Amino acid sequence: MKRVLKLVFCIAVLTVLLAVNAFGAELFIIPSAGAETVLREIPTSFVYNADWQSILETLSNPVTVPDTGEVVMENTDNTEAAETTDAAEETAEAAELTGEDAGTAEAGADAADTAVAGGTEETTENTEPAASQTEAETATTPVATNNRVVCIDAGHQSKGNNAQEPIGPGATQTKAKVAGGTRGVATGVPEYQLTLDVAMKLQSELQSRGYTVIMCRTSHDVNISNAERAEIANNAGAGAFLRLHGNGAGSGEASGAETLAPSSSNPYCSGIAAQSQALSKTVLDGLCAATGAKNRGVKITDNMSGINWSRVPVTIVEMGYMTNAAEDAQMQDPSYQAKLAKGMADGVDAFFGL
C-alpha cells in the first residue's frame, strides 16, 4: 500500500512539474497548514532530468515566508542590494573647513548632529553605460562666468522625484532627482516652503545691489532635478550659485548654519572647488554675522548631485536646523528671513571683492 501511495505521489509531482515546465515557469508554490506560503525554486534541470531524489530533497527543505499576500522570490544570484547613503553618513565622511580658516580642512563632521540638505539621499548603481570620457570632460569644464549674475536655487519642491540620475557627469552611481526635504519640528512648515520664502527675499536684496538674479524656481509645483538646477546656473554663466536648504538632524539640540562645497579632488567639478570653498566661506560668514547664528563651518562633500553637476562656483547653504524647535520657529520670522537674505548678499559681495 505504501508503495502504491508513493507511486501516486511521484506521478502527481511529475504531472505538476511537466505542467509548470510547459508554461515556462520555475516557481513551485505549496500551500502549508499554517498562515504561510512555501516557496521553492525548482531548477529547470530537475524537470528535464527527472532527478527524483533531488526533487524530493528540494520539496522537503522548503523556504517559508510570512503570508503577506505578496509573492516573495528568493534572490538566486550574487547581486548586492543597492547602496543607501543617508545625509548624516555623507557628512560624517566630509571634511570641515572652520569659519576662521577656509584653507585648512579638518576631518570628522558630527554625523549625529548633521543631515545634509535636510533629508536622506539614496545612492544606487546605474546599470546604463556611463558617458564617454570626452562628454564627461566637457561636462566638468568650468564655464565663463559673470560676476554680476547670481543664481539661486530654493531647495526641494512640493513633491520629491525618486527617479534616478547620475550623481555627476559620467558617474555610474545615481541618486533621486529631488529629495522630499525635511519639515519644521515646531512649525510643521516644509523645507521647500522655507527655502523659497528666503530665496525670494535674497533675490530682492541682490537686485537692489545691482545683480542680475536667476531663479531655479519661483513656485512649489515644479519638477526640476538637482542636475537640471545646476545646468540652469551653468547656462546663465552665474558668478555664484547659491542653493538654499534647511538642515535636519536626529537630535533636536543641533543648531547653527553651515555651507557645503566640493573638494579639490572631486572627480566631477574639481575645477570650481577653490572658488566654491571661498564662496561657501564668505556666504556663511555673512549669514552668521547678520543673524548671530552659530557658525558650523564649511563642510566638504563630493556626494551632492547639485554640486557635482555645477560648472560655476557653488555652495549649499544650510540656513539652520528645522529639527531644532527654537531655530525652526526663528526661521519662520519674516524679519529673521530678511537678515538671512542680507547676510548671504553680504557674503556674495565679499566673494566678488565688493
pLDDT tens digits for 263-282? 999 999 999 999 999 999 99
Confidence of residue 345 (pLDDT cuts 50, 70, 90): very high
Which of 143, 98, 144, 145 lies closest to 348, judged by CA?
A: 145
Contact 220, 127 (CB under 8 A): no
The reply to whether 273 and 231 lie within a common domain is yes
The reply to whether 183 and 327 lie within a common domain is yes
The reply to whether 328 and 297 lie within a common domain is yes
User: Helices 52-60 & 2-22, crossing angle to 10 degrees?
Assistant: 90
The reply to whether 230 and 315 lie within a common domain is yes
| Total number of domains constituting the chain | 2
Domain assignment of residue 78, yes or no: no
The reply to whether 130 and 219 lie within a common domain is yes
The pLDDT of residue 73: 29
Q: Which domain holds residue 38?
A: 2-66
Residue keyed to cell 508554461: 23
Q: Chain-wide mean pLDDT for the chain?
A: 76
Is the per-residue pLDDT at 68 higher than 50? no
**Angle at CA of residue 307, ends 186 and 323, nearest 5°:** 10
Higher pLDDT, 69 or 183: 183
The reply to whether 157 and 298 lie within a common domain is yes
Digit-coded pLDDT (tens) for 179-233: 999 999 999 999 999 999 999 999 999 999 999 999 999 999 999 999 999 999 9
CATH of the domain at 130: 3.40.630.40
The pLDDT of residue 11: 74
Which of 60, 69, 113 lies closest to 91, judged by CA?
A: 113
The reply to whether 172 and 25 lie within a common domain is no
The reply to whether 205 and 276 lie within a common domain is yes
Residue type, position 18, single letter? L
Residue keyed to cell 534572490: 75
Domain assignment of residue 47, yes or no: yes
What average pLDDT does the segment 238-264 reach? 97
The reply to whether 137 and 263 lie within a common domain is yes
Contact 104, 281 (CB under 8 A): no
**Distance of alpha carbon 339 from alpha carbon 345, whole angstroms:** 10
- Per DSSP, the three-state class of 342 is helix
Q: Which of 106-110, 187-191, 240-244, 333-337 has the lowest mean pLDDT?
A: 106-110
Question: Is the sign of the CA dihedral 94, 100, 103, 105 positive or negative?
Answer: negative
Digit-coded pLDDT (tens) for 296-327: 999 999 999 999 999 999 999 999 999 999 99
Digit-coded pLDDT (tens) for 100-145: 333 333 333 333 333 333 433 334 444 344 445 555 566 679 999 9
What is the percent of the chain where pLDDT is above 90?
60
Is the per-residue pLDDT at 58 higher than 90? no
What average pLDDT does the segment 55-61 reach? 43
What average pLDDT does the segment 51-67 reach? 41
The reply to whether 331 and 183 lie within a common domain is yes
Domain assignment of residue 253, yes or no: yes
The reply to whether 121 and 250 lie within a common domain is yes
pTM, two decimals, is 0.66
Residue keyed to cell 542680475: 212
The reply to whether 60 and 201 lie within a common domain is no
DSSP β-ladder status, 36-41 and 173-178:
unpaired
The pLDDT of residue 343: 98
Residue keyed to cell 547664528: 293
Q: In what order do the strands lie in the sheet with 36-41?
A: 27-31, 36-41, 63-66
**Distance of alpha carbon 287 from alpha carbon 319, whole angstroms:** 8
Is the per-residue pLDDT at 292 higher than 90? yes
Is the per-residue pLDDT at 153 higher than 50? yes
Domain boundary (66, 94, 111) is at 66
Is the per-residue pLDDT at 260 higher than 90? yes
Residue keyed to cell 573638494: 263
Is the per-residue pLDDT at 70 higher than 60? no
For the CA atoms of 124, 276, 255, 186, the dihedral, rounded to the nearest 10 degrees, stands at: -60
